[in-house]
Amino acid sequence: MEAQVFSVGQYLGLVNQALGQIPSAQVVVEGEVSDFRIAQGKWVSFDLKDEQEEAVLKCFMTKWQLKVEIESGMRVQVIGSPKVYERFGTFKMNVQEVAPVGEGALQQAYQLLKKKLETEGLFDPSRKRGLPRFVERIGLITSRDAAAFGDFLQILNNRWGGVTVSHTHVHVQGREAVKDIVGAFAYFNALPELDRPDVLVLTRGGGGLEDLHAFNDEQVARAVFSSTIPVVCAVGHERDESLADFVADVRASTPSNAAERVVPSRSDVQYEIETMERHMEERITDVVQAHGRVIERATGSISFILERQKERFRAIQERLMVAGEDWLPLIRSELEGVARVLRQVDPKRVLARGYSLVTVDGAVLTDASKVGVGTHVGVQLAAGSFEAEVKSVNGKGQQKLV
Protein backbone atom coordinates (compact mmCIF):
# COMPACT_ATOMS: atom_id res chain seq x y z
CA MET A 1 0.00 0.00 0.00
CA GLU A 2 1.42 3.30 -1.03
CA ALA A 3 1.78 6.07 1.54
CA GLN A 4 -0.44 9.13 1.07
CA VAL A 5 1.48 12.18 -0.12
CA PHE A 6 0.62 15.60 1.38
CA SER A 7 1.69 19.05 0.45
CA VAL A 8 3.41 21.02 3.19
CA GLY A 9 0.35 23.20 3.68
CA GLN A 10 -1.96 20.17 3.81
CA TYR A 11 0.21 18.44 6.36
CA LEU A 12 0.52 21.48 8.61
CA GLY A 13 -3.25 21.94 8.30
CA LEU A 14 -3.74 18.37 9.53
CA VAL A 15 -1.39 19.05 12.43
CA ASN A 16 -3.36 22.16 13.43
CA GLN A 17 -6.58 20.22 13.06
CA ALA A 18 -5.24 17.53 15.37
CA LEU A 19 -4.06 20.15 17.87
CA GLY A 20 -7.51 21.74 17.85
CA GLN A 21 -9.11 18.39 18.70
CA ILE A 22 -7.05 18.02 21.86
CA PRO A 23 -9.34 18.32 24.92
CA SER A 24 -8.89 21.69 26.64
CA ALA A 25 -6.85 22.92 23.72
CA GLN A 26 -6.69 26.37 25.36
CA VAL A 27 -4.09 25.83 28.03
CA VAL A 28 -2.24 27.83 30.67
CA VAL A 29 1.55 27.70 30.49
CA GLU A 30 3.91 29.26 32.99
CA GLY A 31 7.49 30.25 32.33
CA GLU A 32 10.04 33.05 32.05
CA VAL A 33 9.82 35.61 29.26
CA SER A 34 12.81 36.04 26.97
CA ASP A 35 13.48 37.78 23.65
CA PHE A 36 10.39 40.02 24.12
CA ARG A 37 9.64 42.09 20.99
CA ILE A 38 6.91 44.32 19.50
CA ALA A 39 7.00 44.58 15.70
CA GLN A 40 5.33 47.39 13.75
CA GLY A 41 3.67 48.56 16.93
CA LYS A 42 1.12 45.71 16.86
CA TRP A 43 2.71 42.22 16.72
CA VAL A 44 4.05 40.85 20.02
CA SER A 45 6.38 37.88 20.15
CA PHE A 46 8.45 36.34 22.94
CA ASP A 47 9.84 33.02 24.10
CA LEU A 48 8.66 31.24 27.22
CA LYS A 49 11.35 29.18 28.95
CA ASP A 50 11.34 26.88 31.91
CA GLU A 51 13.73 27.42 34.79
CA GLN A 52 16.34 25.00 33.50
CA GLU A 53 16.10 26.52 30.00
CA GLU A 54 15.74 23.01 28.59
CA ALA A 55 12.52 23.86 26.75
CA VAL A 56 11.42 26.93 24.83
CA LEU A 57 7.88 27.77 23.72
CA LYS A 58 7.54 30.52 21.15
CA CYS A 59 4.56 32.79 21.76
CA PHE A 60 2.69 35.20 19.54
CA MET A 61 -0.13 37.74 20.17
CA THR A 62 -1.33 41.19 19.15
CA LYS A 63 -0.54 44.40 21.00
CA TRP A 64 -4.18 45.05 21.89
CA GLN A 65 -4.39 41.63 23.60
CA LEU A 66 -1.49 42.54 25.88
CA LYS A 67 -3.15 44.10 28.94
CA VAL A 68 -0.05 44.27 31.14
CA GLU A 69 3.44 45.62 30.72
CA ILE A 70 5.97 42.77 30.47
CA GLU A 71 9.63 42.46 29.58
CA SER A 72 12.30 39.78 29.31
CA GLY A 73 13.11 38.10 32.62
CA MET A 74 9.57 38.25 34.02
CA ARG A 75 7.74 35.10 35.06
CA VAL A 76 4.29 34.94 33.55
CA GLN A 77 1.38 32.68 32.80
CA VAL A 78 0.01 32.67 29.26
CA ILE A 79 -3.40 31.49 28.20
CA GLY A 80 -3.73 30.35 24.61
CA SER A 81 -3.80 27.52 22.15
CA PRO A 82 -1.00 25.75 20.23
CA LYS A 83 -0.70 26.36 16.52
CA VAL A 84 1.67 25.65 13.63
CA TYR A 85 2.09 28.69 11.42
CA GLU A 86 2.17 27.39 7.85
CA ARG A 87 4.01 30.41 6.52
CA PHE A 88 6.96 29.89 8.78
CA GLY A 89 6.62 26.20 9.55
CA THR A 90 6.99 26.95 13.26
CA PHE A 91 5.06 25.74 16.28
CA LYS A 92 3.90 28.61 18.51
CA MET A 93 1.50 29.36 21.30
CA ASN A 94 -1.28 31.66 20.03
CA VAL A 95 -1.66 33.74 23.19
CA GLN A 96 -4.90 35.45 24.25
CA GLU A 97 -3.89 36.63 27.70
CA VAL A 98 -0.72 37.19 29.76
CA ALA A 99 -0.51 37.58 33.53
CA PRO A 100 2.61 38.11 35.69
CA VAL A 101 3.25 35.42 38.29
CA GLY A 102 4.83 35.93 41.69
CA GLU A 103 5.68 39.04 43.67
CA GLY A 104 8.80 39.76 41.63
CA ALA A 105 7.06 39.63 38.26
CA LEU A 106 4.07 41.56 39.53
CA GLN A 107 6.35 44.24 40.99
CA GLN A 108 8.27 44.44 37.73
CA ALA A 109 5.06 44.77 35.69
CA TYR A 110 3.79 47.36 38.18
CA GLN A 111 6.92 49.50 37.84
CA LEU A 112 6.85 49.30 34.03
CA LEU A 113 3.22 50.39 33.83
CA LYS A 114 3.73 53.06 36.48
CA LYS A 115 6.55 54.60 34.46
CA LYS A 116 4.46 54.49 31.30
CA LEU A 117 1.42 56.18 32.87
CA GLU A 118 3.58 58.74 34.62
CA THR A 119 5.21 59.65 31.30
CA GLU A 120 1.75 60.13 29.78
CA GLY A 121 0.82 62.58 32.55
CA LEU A 122 -1.83 60.51 34.35
CA PHE A 123 -0.25 61.33 37.72
CA ASP A 124 0.16 65.06 37.06
CA PRO A 125 -0.90 66.97 40.22
CA SER A 126 -2.10 69.95 38.14
CA ARG A 127 -5.00 67.92 36.70
CA LYS A 128 -6.29 66.69 40.06
CA ARG A 129 -9.61 68.16 41.21
CA GLY A 130 -10.67 69.18 44.68
CA LEU A 131 -13.72 67.72 46.45
CA PRO A 132 -16.88 69.65 47.34
CA ARG A 133 -16.88 70.85 50.96
CA PHE A 134 -20.30 69.31 51.63
CA VAL A 135 -21.20 66.40 49.33
CA GLU A 136 -24.79 65.28 48.86
CA ARG A 137 -24.31 62.10 46.80
CA ILE A 138 -21.48 59.55 46.87
CA GLY A 139 -20.88 56.77 44.38
CA LEU A 140 -19.22 53.85 46.21
CA ILE A 141 -17.37 51.23 44.14
CA THR A 142 -16.35 48.18 46.16
CA SER A 143 -17.42 44.67 47.09
CA ARG A 144 -20.43 44.44 49.37
CA ASP A 145 -18.67 41.52 51.09
CA ALA A 146 -15.48 43.47 51.80
CA ALA A 147 -14.70 44.92 55.22
CA ALA A 148 -13.94 48.18 53.43
CA PHE A 149 -17.65 48.55 52.61
CA GLY A 150 -18.72 48.46 56.26
CA ASP A 151 -15.79 50.56 57.49
CA PHE A 152 -16.51 53.32 55.00
CA LEU A 153 -20.23 53.53 55.80
CA GLN A 154 -19.66 53.42 59.56
CA ILE A 155 -17.16 56.30 59.56
CA LEU A 156 -19.31 58.22 57.07
CA ASN A 157 -22.40 58.04 59.30
CA ASN A 158 -20.44 58.80 62.46
CA ARG A 159 -18.94 61.96 60.96
CA TRP A 160 -21.80 63.34 58.90
CA GLY A 161 -25.42 62.47 58.09
CA GLY A 162 -27.86 63.04 55.27
CA VAL A 163 -25.57 61.84 52.46
CA THR A 164 -26.97 59.58 49.73
CA VAL A 165 -24.66 56.63 48.97
CA SER A 166 -25.12 54.80 45.66
CA HIS A 167 -23.21 51.52 45.92
CA THR A 168 -22.14 49.45 42.93
CA HIS A 169 -20.97 45.95 43.85
CA VAL A 170 -17.78 44.82 42.10
CA HIS A 171 -15.25 42.05 42.50
CA VAL A 172 -12.10 43.54 43.95
CA GLN A 173 -9.80 40.68 42.91
CA GLY A 174 -9.84 37.83 40.48
CA ARG A 175 -10.59 37.60 36.77
CA GLU A 176 -13.85 39.59 36.97
CA ALA A 177 -12.45 42.51 38.99
CA VAL A 178 -11.09 44.67 36.18
CA LYS A 179 -14.22 44.35 34.06
CA ASP A 180 -16.48 45.12 37.06
CA ILE A 181 -14.55 48.20 38.15
CA VAL A 182 -14.28 49.66 34.65
CA GLY A 183 -18.01 49.01 34.17
CA ALA A 184 -18.87 50.78 37.46
CA PHE A 185 -16.99 53.91 36.37
CA ALA A 186 -18.76 53.83 33.01
CA TYR A 187 -22.15 53.50 34.76
CA PHE A 188 -21.71 56.43 37.13
CA ASN A 189 -20.26 58.75 34.49
CA ALA A 190 -23.11 57.95 32.08
CA LEU A 191 -25.79 59.07 34.57
CA PRO A 192 -27.69 62.33 33.88
CA GLU A 193 -25.95 65.28 35.49
CA LEU A 194 -28.70 65.77 38.09
CA ASP A 195 -28.39 62.12 39.22
CA ARG A 196 -24.61 61.96 39.05
CA PRO A 197 -22.70 61.61 42.36
CA ASP A 198 -20.59 64.51 43.61
CA VAL A 199 -17.68 62.14 44.19
CA LEU A 200 -16.75 58.49 43.47
CA VAL A 201 -15.00 56.36 46.09
CA LEU A 202 -13.03 53.31 44.90
CA THR A 203 -11.90 51.18 47.81
CA ARG A 204 -10.95 47.77 49.13
CA GLY A 205 -8.96 46.32 52.02
CA GLY A 206 -5.27 45.46 52.08
CA GLY A 207 -3.38 42.61 50.50
CA GLY A 208 -0.34 41.66 48.48
CA LEU A 209 0.42 42.62 44.90
CA GLU A 210 -1.59 39.68 43.60
CA ASP A 211 -4.60 40.72 45.70
CA LEU A 212 -4.36 44.34 44.50
CA HIS A 213 -3.63 43.41 40.91
CA ALA A 214 -6.94 44.78 39.57
CA PHE A 215 -6.12 48.23 40.98
CA ASN A 216 -2.78 48.17 39.16
CA ASP A 217 -4.43 47.32 35.86
CA GLU A 218 -4.05 49.83 33.03
CA GLN A 219 -7.75 49.74 32.16
CA VAL A 220 -8.72 50.63 35.72
CA ALA A 221 -6.11 53.41 35.89
CA ARG A 222 -7.43 54.92 32.67
CA ALA A 223 -11.04 54.62 33.86
CA VAL A 224 -10.12 56.63 36.97
CA PHE A 225 -8.26 59.16 34.83
CA SER A 226 -11.17 59.58 32.39
CA SER A 227 -13.86 60.01 35.06
CA THR A 228 -15.73 63.31 34.84
CA ILE A 229 -16.58 62.88 38.53
CA PRO A 230 -13.80 63.48 41.11
CA VAL A 231 -12.40 60.19 42.41
CA VAL A 232 -11.18 59.23 45.89
CA CYS A 233 -9.16 56.02 45.91
CA ALA A 234 -8.46 54.07 49.09
CA VAL A 235 -6.86 50.71 48.34
CA GLY A 236 -5.33 48.57 51.04
CA HIS A 237 -3.68 49.75 54.21
CA GLU A 238 -1.63 52.88 54.71
CA ARG A 239 1.57 51.25 53.43
CA ASP A 240 -0.12 49.87 50.29
CA GLU A 241 -0.09 51.76 47.02
CA SER A 242 -1.69 51.19 43.64
CA LEU A 243 -1.69 52.89 40.28
CA ALA A 244 -5.35 53.80 40.84
CA ASP A 245 -4.20 55.71 43.95
CA PHE A 246 -1.75 57.78 41.92
CA VAL A 247 -4.28 58.60 39.19
CA ALA A 248 -7.15 59.49 41.54
CA ASP A 249 -7.89 63.10 42.44
CA VAL A 250 -7.56 62.27 46.16
CA ARG A 251 -5.62 59.38 47.63
CA ALA A 252 -6.78 58.06 51.00
CA SER A 253 -4.69 55.71 53.10
CA THR A 254 -7.57 53.41 54.16
CA PRO A 255 -11.32 53.02 53.52
CA SER A 256 -11.98 54.79 56.83
CA ASN A 257 -9.68 57.62 55.81
CA ALA A 258 -11.61 57.88 52.53
CA ALA A 259 -14.78 58.63 54.50
CA GLU A 260 -12.85 61.23 56.53
CA ARG A 261 -11.63 62.88 53.34
CA VAL A 262 -15.09 62.95 51.72
CA VAL A 263 -17.22 64.39 54.55
CA PRO A 264 -16.33 66.74 57.42
CA SER A 265 -16.79 65.96 61.08
CA ARG A 266 -19.91 67.37 62.75
CA SER A 267 -17.88 68.51 65.75
CA ASP A 268 -15.29 70.19 63.51
CA VAL A 269 -17.99 72.06 61.58
CA GLN A 270 -19.72 73.05 64.82
CA TYR A 271 -16.43 74.32 66.25
CA GLU A 272 -15.76 76.19 63.01
CA ILE A 273 -19.19 77.84 63.14
CA GLU A 274 -18.74 78.79 66.78
CA THR A 275 -15.31 80.20 66.01
CA MET A 276 -16.73 82.21 63.11
CA GLU A 277 -19.50 83.54 65.35
CA ARG A 278 -16.97 84.54 67.99
CA HIS A 279 -14.77 86.26 65.43
CA MET A 280 -17.79 88.04 63.97
CA GLU A 281 -18.83 89.26 67.42
CA GLU A 282 -15.31 90.45 68.11
CA ARG A 283 -15.17 92.15 64.75
CA ILE A 284 -18.52 93.86 65.28
CA THR A 285 -17.41 95.00 68.73
CA ASP A 286 -14.20 96.39 67.26
CA VAL A 287 -16.13 98.20 64.51
CA VAL A 288 -18.62 99.65 67.01
CA GLN A 289 -15.80 100.80 69.27
CA ALA A 290 -13.93 102.27 66.32
CA HIS A 291 -17.05 104.12 65.19
CA GLY A 292 -17.61 105.25 68.78
CA ARG A 293 -14.13 106.74 68.85
CA VAL A 294 -14.81 108.45 65.54
CA ILE A 295 -18.08 109.87 66.88
CA GLU A 296 -16.34 110.94 70.07
CA ARG A 297 -13.63 112.71 68.10
CA ALA A 298 -16.26 114.26 65.82
CA THR A 299 -18.27 115.41 68.84
CA GLY A 300 -15.14 116.90 70.38
CA SER A 301 -14.34 118.65 67.11
CA ILE A 302 -17.88 120.02 66.85
CA SER A 303 -17.78 121.18 70.47
CA PHE A 304 -14.46 122.89 69.80
CA ILE A 305 -15.86 124.56 66.66
CA LEU A 306 -19.03 125.65 68.47
CA GLU A 307 -16.98 127.03 71.31
CA ARG A 308 -14.85 129.00 68.88
CA GLN A 309 -17.96 130.33 67.13
CA LYS A 310 -19.42 131.23 70.49
CA GLU A 311 -16.28 133.18 71.30
CA ARG A 312 -16.46 134.91 67.92
CA PHE A 313 -20.12 135.81 68.47
CA ARG A 314 -19.32 137.13 71.94
CA ALA A 315 -16.52 139.27 70.53
CA ILE A 316 -18.78 140.57 67.76
CA GLN A 317 -21.50 141.33 70.31
CA GLU A 318 -19.04 143.25 72.45
CA ARG A 319 -17.81 145.21 69.46
CA LEU A 320 -21.40 145.98 68.44
CA MET A 321 -22.22 147.16 71.95
CA VAL A 322 -19.16 149.42 72.01
CA ALA A 323 -19.96 150.70 68.53
CA GLY A 324 -23.61 151.17 69.52
CA GLU A 325 -22.64 153.44 72.38
CA ASP A 326 -20.80 155.64 69.88
CA TRP A 327 -23.39 155.47 67.14
CA LEU A 328 -26.58 156.00 69.16
CA PRO A 329 -26.08 159.75 69.86
CA LEU A 330 -25.33 160.35 66.21
CA ILE A 331 -28.33 158.32 65.11
CA ARG A 332 -30.55 160.12 67.67
CA SER A 333 -29.40 163.50 66.37
CA GLU A 334 -30.03 162.45 62.80
CA LEU A 335 -33.49 161.20 63.70
CA GLU A 336 -34.37 164.47 65.46
CA GLY A 337 -33.30 166.44 62.38
CA VAL A 338 -35.41 164.25 60.13
CA ALA A 339 -38.35 164.64 62.54
CA ARG A 340 -38.07 168.44 62.36
CA VAL A 341 -38.11 168.29 58.58
CA LEU A 342 -41.11 166.00 58.61
CA ARG A 343 -42.95 168.32 60.99
CA GLN A 344 -42.30 171.24 58.68
CA VAL A 345 -43.86 169.45 55.73
CA ASP A 346 -46.71 167.93 57.73
CA PRO A 347 -49.93 168.69 55.74
CA LYS A 348 -51.82 169.32 58.96
CA ARG A 349 -49.55 172.24 59.80
CA VAL A 350 -50.14 173.65 56.32
CA LEU A 351 -53.91 173.24 56.74
CA ALA A 352 -53.70 174.95 60.09
CA ARG A 353 -52.44 178.07 58.34
CA GLY A 354 -55.70 178.26 56.38
CA TYR A 355 -55.04 176.02 53.46
CA SER A 356 -57.32 173.20 52.37
CA LEU A 357 -56.78 169.90 50.58
CA VAL A 358 -59.13 169.16 47.65
CA THR A 359 -59.54 165.58 46.42
CA VAL A 360 -61.44 163.94 43.60
CA ASP A 361 -62.28 160.30 44.17
CA GLY A 362 -59.69 160.20 46.93
CA ALA A 363 -56.89 161.66 44.76
CA VAL A 364 -55.42 165.10 45.63
CA LEU A 365 -56.42 167.70 43.08
CA THR A 366 -53.58 170.00 41.97
CA ASP A 367 -54.82 171.18 38.56
CA ALA A 368 -58.23 172.89 38.04
CA SER A 369 -58.33 171.68 34.45
CA LYS A 370 -58.73 168.16 35.75
CA VAL A 371 -62.32 168.87 36.89
CA GLY A 372 -65.41 170.15 35.23
CA VAL A 373 -68.58 171.91 36.30
CA GLY A 374 -70.66 169.60 38.38
CA THR A 375 -67.72 167.50 39.61
CA HIS A 376 -68.04 166.50 43.23
CA VAL A 377 -64.88 167.11 45.26
CA GLY A 378 -63.81 166.57 48.85
CA VAL A 379 -62.36 169.44 50.87
CA GLN A 380 -60.14 168.74 53.88
CA LEU A 381 -59.54 171.61 56.35
CA ALA A 382 -57.36 171.75 59.44
CA ALA A 383 -60.49 170.96 61.42
CA GLY A 384 -63.02 168.85 59.58
CA SER A 385 -63.95 168.27 55.95
CA PHE A 386 -66.90 168.65 53.56
CA GLU A 387 -67.98 167.84 50.03
CA ALA A 388 -68.76 170.38 47.32
CA GLU A 389 -69.86 170.60 43.73
CA VAL A 390 -67.88 172.62 41.19
CA LYS A 391 -70.02 175.43 39.73
CA SER A 392 -67.33 177.19 37.78
CA VAL A 393 -63.83 176.38 36.50
CA ASN A 394 -61.41 179.29 35.88
CA GLY A 395 -64.32 181.82 35.86
CA LYS A 396 -66.48 179.84 33.54
CA GLY A 397 -69.78 178.34 34.54
CA GLN A 398 -71.75 178.94 37.65
CA GLN A 399 -69.80 181.04 40.07
CA LYS A 400 -71.07 179.23 43.06
CA LEU A 401 -69.36 176.73 45.24
CA VAL A 402 -71.78 174.68 47.32
CA distances from 183 to 54, 61, 187, 375 (A): 43, 25, 6, 129
Describe the crossing of helices 147-159 and 255-262 by its angle, rounded to 10 degrees. Answer: 30
pLDDT of residue 399: 41
pLDDT of residue 401: 43
Report residue 253 CA to chain centroid gap: 28
pLDDT of residue 10: 63
Spell out the domain ranges in the chain.
8-100, 135-264, 268-345, 350-397
pLDDT of residue 6: 53
pLDDT of residue 272: 87
CA dist., res. 28 & res. 19, Å (int):
15
CA dist., res. 204 & res. 217, Å (int):
15
- Can 8-100 and 135-264 be said to share one CATH topology? no
User: What architecture is domain 135-264?
Assistant: 3-Layer(aba) Sandwich (3.40)
pLDDT of residue 373: 83
List, run by run, the mean pLDDT of 10-residue segments along the chain (402 residues). 60 68 69 89 88 79 87 86 75 86 81 91 94 94 92 92 92 91 96 94 86 89 96 86 93 93 90 88 86 80 80 80 73 77 72 79 82 84 83 64 42
User: What architecture is domain 8-100?
Assistant: Beta Barrel (2.40)
